[in-house]
Amino acid sequence: MAQIFNLRNKNTAIGFDWGTSSVKIVGLKRKGDQYELTHCTLLEFPLDYSDEQKQQTIKKQLGKSYFQNVPVMVGLPGGSMNIRYIKLPEMSAKDFQNAAIWEVSEELLYDLSAALIYTELLDTLQDGDLRKAYGVVAAVPRERLQKEVTKFKRFFPKFRGFGIDAFAATTAVVANELADSKVIAVLDIGARWSKLVIVSNGKIMGEREIGFGTIQINEEMHSVFGIEMAETEILKRKIHIVSNNGENEFVCLVKDKETCVEAVKFILEQLIQELRLSLQFFAAQLRQDINKVYLTGGGALMKGIELYFAEKLALPVEIANPFQKIL
């Protein structure tokens, strides 16, 4: 069962990320101990595009291309599944698997027999006077998974399976040896929600979805200015943050600058507040401070956004570069 979530299959050449307003396709080829970037494609969509319209666009753009003839892995959104990080008394990996499945079964809104379950014992940690087994359990409805398989096989005859997409960017950060032995956080800022992953000593130790993304900025602008959603996207891309004598300042290259900036701040402040609470929770769970935050995803493209997050969190914040060690 676990193989469907495997991100480390050596034969996989293509990674595919289906987002709200774009899809990203990356081709990698092993070259010694490193990987060579062979293909990199970004297809953007209007915010109001349906899945059917996206599928038609993708099929038209890809055609009988290279992507039709190689194995493909697809990122599965965390919102599609139940993911829980649990701490149990110290036990073997087999006992942890059984206990973790029982734990998650209490939370499922569907029958356990209808779910595909993946468990992994991550580490054994000291918790006060006791040692605890710490790991992850993920469950996804088989019916939902089958629909996704059917959808992607239309584009990729050699569709291989799914990876949990929140872990993909994190895997790149760890592969780039940015994590060292520290505890870091990777925040993937998407359109409809953001995904937070905590890494300790190179291992993923926690994950949470935060219900704020960049589309809320578009909706706030739509509400304030009464303009179409497509126009809000153009407006949003004209906003950036600069450091001026040690003070962070929003720059907006449009009229009604103050109103525009307030709309952006209103959403970013809510995202940062949720992020701050999550970091405090995971730090307490791991009994270690979070040392650094990496930002990824489309929301991280706002110029200077890392400056604003660093100021509000009082932590080092950096834009992650997944291609850092790619040839």
Task: Find the DSSP H helices in 48-204.
Answer: 51-62, 93-105, 142-153, 165-175
- Which pTM value belongs to this model? 0.76
Task: For residues 117 and 101, give the distance between their C-alpha atoms in angstroms, rounded to a whole number.
Answer: 7
Q: Which CATH architecture has domain 2-78+142-176?
A: 2-Layer Sandwich (3.30)
Under DSSP, is residue 155 helix (H, G, I), strand (E, B) or coil?
coil
Q: Does domain 80-141 have CATH number 3.30.1490?
A: yes
Task: For residues 189 and 300, give the distance between their C-alpha atoms in angstroms, rounded to a whole number.
Answer: 6
Q: Which CATH architecture has domain 209-319?
A: 2-Layer Sandwich (3.30)
Q: If we measure between CA atoms, which residue out of 212, 169, 222 comes closest to residue 190?
A: 212
Mean per-residue pLDDT of the chain: 79
Half-sphere exposure of 193 (CA within 13 A, CB side): 12
To which residue do tokens 């006077």 refer? 129
Task: For residues 193 and 267, give the distance between their C-alpha atoms in angstroms, rounded to a whole number.
Answer: 12
CATH 3.30.1490 domain span(s) along the chain? 80-141
Whether the CB-CB separation of 140 and 80 falls below 8 Å is answered with yes
Give the model confidence (pLDDT) of 83-108 as tens digits: 777 888 899 988 988 888 887 777 77
CATH 3.30.420.40 domain span(s) along the chain? 2-78+142-176, 209-319
Give the model confidence (pLDDT) of 200-247 as tens digits: 877 777 788 888 888 898 888 888 888 888 788 888 888 888 887 777
